[in-house]
Chains A and B, each alone.
Chain A
Amino acid sequence: MAEADARTGSGPAPVEVRGLVKRYGELAAVAGIDLTVHAGDVYGYLGPNGAGKTTCLRMMLGLIRPTEGTVRLFGRDPQESAQALDGVAGFVEAPTFYPYLNGRRNLELLAAFDGEDARTRIDEALDTVELAHRAKDRVGGYSHGMRQRLGIAAALLRNPKLLLLDEPATGLDPAGMRDMRLLIRRLADQGITVMLSSHLLAEVEELCNRVAIVRTGRIVYEGAISELKRTAGATYRLSTTDDERALAVCRAQPGVSDARVVQGRIAFTADDAAVAELSQALVEAGALIRILAPEHVTLEDLFFSLTEGDGAASAEAPAVVAG
């Protein structure tokens, strides 16, 4: 917890997950997750279908019991008491409501279950998700997108400091997805800490400042999005007047790693500063640069290399857990 205090300076972190495991028979849906979401983060929990995202969020909301490990929300255990959910709201999978009640009645019911002044926020919440005009219709007749938005409205009744959202934009049409992301962005800008799961890299890249990439119940990358991007763009291709000498220079150069010849050109990994120094060293060594270009390893490539294959990919990926 010292970590949380160091980052935010105030109280326990919104989310602290330690050694979390959920087994269904032989299958470990969640196989040992550690993560911390700090106040103000928009934290992406990214992974392909079946990676265990929903299962993890269910444990975080106290809906299912972990086989092992602990969850703390603002320092409190959701397995112990619903009081751990004070200031916390969200949903797993598609949000559900009583189909025979209208949207407003559903919110009234949930507000009654929230206590406090939740009831006074119903109108505002309906406005925020642009459902005020359909609030008198039975939820049974709502589209998936409307239910998804009603789910957000229901979460807002709790005046949350932390939102836990499970694939909030999944299943929506492109406009619905855009609106959902704008809404989440807006809520985050209001100071709500958000943890959202997604199987779409672009969504996480657009919304989140931090990300955990999960694969079959394990985190294969955890860190800042900016760090991930840097990692993704850090491979360079080099062609010089004297590639033999250049390769030797690359291998000797501090900050440059993994130098090798690929398809007749030199490839290496380095950060921006090291590349600048390398170019000077090459000139001094008499290997004049013809081409020095960042290889286009996109986040997409990195994501797939982390989440697909036989597991070797994740092992070889650079900086598997960066900060």
Chain B
Amino acid sequence: MSAVAQPAGGVSERTRSRPGVGAVYRWELFKLRFQKRTYLGLGASALVPIIFVVAIQFRHHRDNGGDFAFASYLTKSGLVVPLVILLFGAVWMFPLITALVAGDIFASEDHNGTLKTVLTRSLERWQIFAGKALAAATYAVVAIAINGTVAVVAGCLESGFNSVQTLTGTIVSAPKGLELVYLSLLFYLIPIATVVCIGLMLSTITRNSAAAVVGTLMVSLLFQLIGILPGLGATQPYLLSTQFNAWQGLLRQPIDWSPIIRAVWVCALYGVPALGTAFLVFLRRDVAGG
């Protein structure tokens, strides 16, 4: 066959302004605005800190010398609230909120049969993939940001914008504390990104939204299970669940970067293969049905 790239019959060969990843990304974000799950996830992100703060208020007069790292500080500064939520949210809340969109973003196209519609335009498959992956990641970032911000506001309204005691016992000023809170949120995004990757992988493989969302959550829970199984303690530093605590290194003075650095490569170890799998599956799959 002499399929040379000569001017095609009747098709204008003037330089086309080709669409790119940006177009996919923008429209994916636009589509998210019309989907219930988006509001479910973001709503939960905003609501949980509020419920949490209300709950503290009710427990205020009881003995609240709890069994977690920040319990005794909770009522001293509102800035502790977002951190406590990060601590507990890692169990299933944040993985679930993240998976809600990441697990759905490819599967919903299968559900609606719309993959064939978008794949017969002028975009390459990798561009569609990239745009969707970025949109899922963006949603996760927004969810964490909303959660953290609502927690800061609600916490400070309840307990005041006060200085915080670090894990090494030193006291940092409120503005410095706020900075640490947002840095913590930022580093929390490392394991969250891995959850996004796992969600994307299950979304492309299962082509089923519910299966991908539940599957992603199961993977997160499985890591925690491994962590508490007797005899598997040595695996602890290399589990995804552990990386959700990496930000605590920020709350030491001087800052302990080692858990954060470990989080970066451990999360990459899980996330990159998952993302790569999703990418290859999406690029190579047959798009039939719908």
Interface residue ranges, A against B (CB under 8 Å): 1, 4, 8, 10-14, 18, 39, 55, 58, 61-65, 70, 72, 74-77, 81-83, 85-87, 89-93, 95-101, 109-110, 112-116, 154, 158, 161, 193
Contact = CB atoms under 8 A, between A and B. Distances in A.
B120 A12 contact: no
A85 B122 contact: yes
Contact of A64 (B10, B19, B23, B286): B286
Contacts of A100: 31, 34-35
Nearest to B27: A109
B124 interface: yes
Contact of B121 (A74, A96, A113): A113
Nearest to B9: A11
A109 B121 CA distance: 10
Contacts of A99: 112
15 contacts: A11-B9, A12-B3, A18-B1, A58-B287, A72-B1, A74-B10, A75-B4, A75-B8, A82-B119, A96-B116, A97-B114, A109-B31, A112-B19, A113-B118, A154-B117
A5 to B, nearest CB: 9
Contacts of A95: 117
B16 A92 contact: no
A294 to B, nearest CB: 39
B117 to A, nearest CB: 5
Contacts of B288: 55, 58, 63-64
Residue from B1, B2, B7 whose CB has the most chain A CB atoms within 10 Å? B1
Contacts of A91: 116-117, 120
Given A58-B288, A61-B120, A86-B8, A115 B3 contact: no
A116 B5 contact: no
A11 B16 contact: no
Contact of B114 (A10, A13, A96): A96
A114 B35 contact: no
A95 B118 CA distance: 11
A87 B8 contact: yes
B19 A70 contact: no
- Looking at chain B's contact residues, the main secondary structure is loop
B59 interface: no
Nearest to A154: B117
Contact residues of A: prevailing secondary structure: loop
B108 to A, nearest CB: 9
Contacts of A96: 112-114, 116-117, 290
A13 B119 CA distance: 23
B185 interface: no
Contacts of B290: 93, 96
Interface in B112-150: 112-114, 116-125
B26 A89 contact: no
Contacts of A82: 119, 121-125
B11 interface: yes
Contact of B16 (A39, A63, A64, A115): A115
Contacts of A70: 1
A142 to B, nearest CB: 13
B117 A64 contact: no
Interface string B15-48: 0111100011011001100110000000000000
Size category, B interface: 35 or more
A76 B121 contact: no
Interface in B81-133: 112-114, 116-125
B6 interface: yes
A65 B5 CA distance: 22
A72 B5 CA distance: 12
Nearest to A65: B286
Contacts of B117: 91, 95-97, 110, 154
A254 to B, nearest CB: 41
Contacts of B286: 58, 63-65
B118 A110 contact: yes
Give me the 3 closest cross-chain CB pairs, A-B, nearest first.
A11-B9, A74-B8, A87-B11
Contacts of A72: 1, 3
Contacts of B9: 4, 8, 10-14, 39, 74-75, 161
B29 to A, nearest CB: 12
Given A18-B1, A91-B117, A115-B122, A11 B27 contact: no
A19 B6 CA distance: 23
B10 A11 contact: yes
B11 A74 contact: yes
A77 B1 CA distance: 11
A85 B19 CA distance: 13
Contact of A1 (B1, B8, B16): B1
Contacts of A74: 8-11
B54 to A, nearest CB: 34
Nearest to B28: A109
B243 to A, nearest CB: 35
A194 to B, nearest CB: 13
B107 to A, nearest CB: 14
B31 A114 contact: no
Nearest to B19: A115
A209 B59 CA distance: 82
Interface in B259-283: none
